[in-house]
Amino acid sequence: VSDRLQAPRGTYDVLPEAAAARTALETTARRVLEGAGYRRIETPTFESTEVFARGVGASTDIVQKEMYTFDDGGGRSVTLRPEGTAPICRAYAEHGMHKLPQPVKLWYLSSFFRQEKPQAGRYRQFWQIGAEALGSDDPAVDAEAILLLATLLEELEVGGLRLRLSSLGTPEARAAYRDDLATHLRENADRLSPDVRARIDLNPLRAFDSDHPGTREVMASAPLLLNRLDAADAEHFAAVRELLDGAELDYEVDPTLVRGLDYYTRTVFEFTSDALGAQSGVAGGGRYDGLVAMLGGPATPGCGWAAGVERMLLAATQLPVAPAPVDLFVAFEGPHARAMAFGVTTEARSARLNAQMELAGRSRKGQLKQADRLGARYVAVLDDDGGAVLKDMSSGEQLEVAAAEVVARVLRDRGMR
């Protein structure tokens, strides 16, 4: 006997019981986003590694240690996508979408791959619903994106939500700030955790994420980027906030908000849910005005977000889950009736009825029980002589008809109700 195989660590099977809730989530996302002019896009599951090395940033955890990178067999380095924003910016440039009316609003529901340590709410293959608006730096784009995300999470009844918001300014302001922050960290190096100390030059901003007590103390007196925005960035941030205030959306300005991707400029935001454990981030995003150009396209502003499907499902109170109704269950008795049952089922499907036939050799009683389990509206029991008993399962009424008449009867009966 061979060993029983299992799904790879950090991955999971979406079983039929769980599929209905995911469909409900997709339907809600499509309604909210397409209603606001976002159109669906899907990019390949893998990209040239360069897309993420340049786009997400060489100093990030994602690029440094979490990517599934391999040779495609022809000497080209490819990577399973760890996120969706860089690929979409690649596609925007590749297909000349800057020639379309701007902004180009796109949404996706795709799976992503990160070699992280699996735990509750953290997987190595996970799904995101994302939205990206490219080609406008209007603060209303940021506010609209945030409000659509809030609407989506509300409609899914994701509990215990908290929204944090900040601005990272321009890359130049950020670079100058990084130097000052690194100086502050170096001056207090002896109180920092070893990993933060080792990354002072590489990524000093990540020190805000640390839960090491000494590091937290040092960070409490660290300079804040939000206090150093240039006039245009400060004005942009104020405009985003004003629109959110006008929409009466609750949020906190958190100047220590750090996102794990390098492409952000100006607005950044994150939704957390206290219905989740340690991995409390439900959704996050921000503005990335330099990303399309970094990938070789024309200078194009952009803003968007992604929400984790697993985490939304974990934190959602209740999603409407309605299995497809069964209009007709075709049962039969006798050796010749099977072929006729098959024909009636096919005919019913051609007439757009949801139909199923007996496939497991059950007794008459067992077949009726199965029909009941499926919640079938009508059951037809076919006999060997071309006759059938048609039963309306909700009224209990029974009727003898020719097998060839079953579908027409069901259609007529349904039409009368």
Rg, the chain, Cα only: 28
Piece in contact with ligand HAM (CB under 6 A), picked from 23-31, 155-163, 303-311, 378-386: 303-311
Q: What does the per-residue mask of binding to ligand HAM show for 275-294, with x meaning CB under 6 A?
A: ------xxxxxx-x------
Q: Are 93 and 64 in contact (CB under 8 A)?
A: no
Contacting ligand HAM within 32-91 (CB under 6 A): 83-85
Residues 227-266 contacting ligand HAM, CB under 6 A? 260-261
* Residue 270 C-beta: closest distance to ligand HAM, Å: 7
Q: How far is the CB of 288 from ligand HAM (least distance, A)?
A: 6
Instruction: Verify binding: residue 135, ligand HAM, rule CB under 6 A.
Output: no
Residue nearest ligand HAM by beta-carbon distance: 308
Task: Supply the minimum distance, in Å, between the C-beta of residue 314 and ligand HAM.
Answer: 10
Q: Minimum distance between the CB of residue 29 and ligand HAM, rounded to whole angstroms?
A: 14
Of these, 81, 90, 122, 241, which contacts ligand HAM (CB under 6 A)?
A: 122
Edge-to-edge, what's the strand order for the sheet holding 104-113? 39-40, 104-113, 125-134, 302-308, 281-287, 265-273, 161-167, 252-253
Q: How many CB atoms lie within 10 A of CB 319?
A: 18
Cβ contacts of residue 11 below 8 Å, gap of 6+?
123, 124, 125
Q: From residue 401, give the alpha-carbon distance in Å to each of 345, 407, 408.
A: 16, 10, 10
| Residues near ligand HAM (CB under 6 A), total | 26
Nearer to ligand HAM, 218 or 282 (CB): 282
CA dihedral 212, 213, 215, 216 (to 10 degrees): 110
Return d(Cα 262, Cα 113) in angstroms, integer: 18
State the nearest-atom distance from the C-beta of 140 to ligand HAM, in Å. 17
Tokens standing for residue 291: 């990303």
- The distance of closest approach from Cβ of residue 298 to ligand HAM in the complex, given in angstroms and rounded to an integer, is 19
Q: Are strands 302-308 and 125-134 parallel, antiparallel or unpaired?
A: antiparallel
| Pick 310 or 358: Cβ nearer ligand HAM | 310
57, 169, 204, 304: which one contacts ligand HAM (CB under 6 A)?
Answer: 304
Q: Which two tokens stand for residue 386?
A: 């071309």
- Smaller CB distance to ligand HAM: residue 138 or 327? 138
Q: Which of 235, 240, 263 is nearest to 253 (CA)?
A: 240
Q: Which stretch binds ligand HAM (CB under 6 A): 19-27, 94-102, 119-127, 182-190?
A: 119-127
From 199, 311, 377, 391, residue interacting with ligand HAM (rule: CB under 6 A): 311
End-to-end CA distance of the chain, in Å? Answer: 57
| Shortest distance (Å) from residue 64 CB to ligand HAM | 14
How many C-beta neighbours within 10 Å does residue 178 have?
Answer: 16
Complex with ligand HAM: residue 79 or 367, whichever CB lies closer: 79
How crowded is the C-beta side of 254, counted as CA atoms within 13 Å?
A: 18
Catalog residues that contact ligand HAM under the rule CB under 6 A.
83-85, 114, 116, 122-123, 126, 128, 130, 132, 260-261, 281-286, 288, 304-306, 308, 310-311
